[in-house]
Amino acid sequence: MRWKQFLTPIHSVDAETARSSLQAPGVDAEIIDVRQPKEYDQGHIPGAKLIPLPQLQDRLQEIDADKPVYVYCAVGGRSRVAAQMLSSQGFAEVMNMKGGFKAWNGHQAIGAEELGLELFDGLESFAELLKTAYGMEAGLREFYTSIASRVDDGDVRELFETLARIEEKHTRRVFQAYLQKVDDQVDESTFSEQIVPQALEGGQTSQDYIDRFAPDWNKPEEVMELAMGIEAQAMDLYTRAAQRESGDAREFLEQMALEEKGHLQQLGQMLDRMLGA
């Protein structure tokens, strides 16, 4: 089974193309803002409906699937994941607005919009699923630890230290599942170092990932944008993987998706507090 099929292709358009399309006569489209409420309050595209990314999965029924759907955020990271989620749920015409609201206002967008984690590729068994999940959680733990060491804001640093500890618990739980369901003789050191590549995306380390997206560490909102995109992608991957499994595998994946959703909500709440300060 090829799990790469779960990474639903999306269509992205630049801000000028989106503006022209939305202003064309007779166009009736949904515009979805997946930022946080404080960001929306500070300015948004006219007619846009606010559905923060952490809430999107629970509010799909509020979006008309028969209309074209334009999705945007601050710079394009969160909206790309949101567009992927909508496409995977059967929305036929979804456009991610590259550059986000900053580009709409004529500003240069910061950071990249492609926040994909192509981890579930070529898995053929529950054992392989657990190995990849372990690698994903270990990569996230390393990534959050790296962020915590780079940011100056005390509250942001504390949040990412907490997230790193949670990912550490996840890796242990995945390993315990491997012991119970696959091989009770392997030790975690061997499992971690020889079986599972600790990477975030396609073999990349957390440093590679940081270098690729290069957020401004003195701007907490950019760090949060990156982290929310990663957590949303993880939640989406686990959710869609669970839909194609049964039994132990499905239960495991659903629980992981639920916990990633909780992380995403934590990040959203932190961003709201930052913007309200």
Cβ-contact 53, 78 below 8 angstroms: yes
Kindly state the helix (H) or strand (E) to which residue 12 belongs, with its residue range.
strand 11-13
Instruction: Tell me the C-alpha to C-alpha distance, in Å, between residue 72 and each of 52, 77, 80, 121, 266.
Output: 10, 9, 8, 28, 21
Kindly give, in sequence order, each residue whose CB lies less than 8 Å from that of residue 249, ignoring residues fewer than 6 positions away. 126, 129, 242
Of 22, 73, 86, 264, the catalytic one is 73
Is 73 an active-site residue? yes
Q: What share of the chain is helix, strand, coil (3-state, %, to 5)?
A: 60, 5, 35
**The two structure tokens encoding residue 194:** 């020889």
Half-sphere exposure of 13 (CA within 13 A, CB side): 17
> ∠ at Cα 255 (252, 261), nearest 5°?
140
What are the catalytic residues? 73
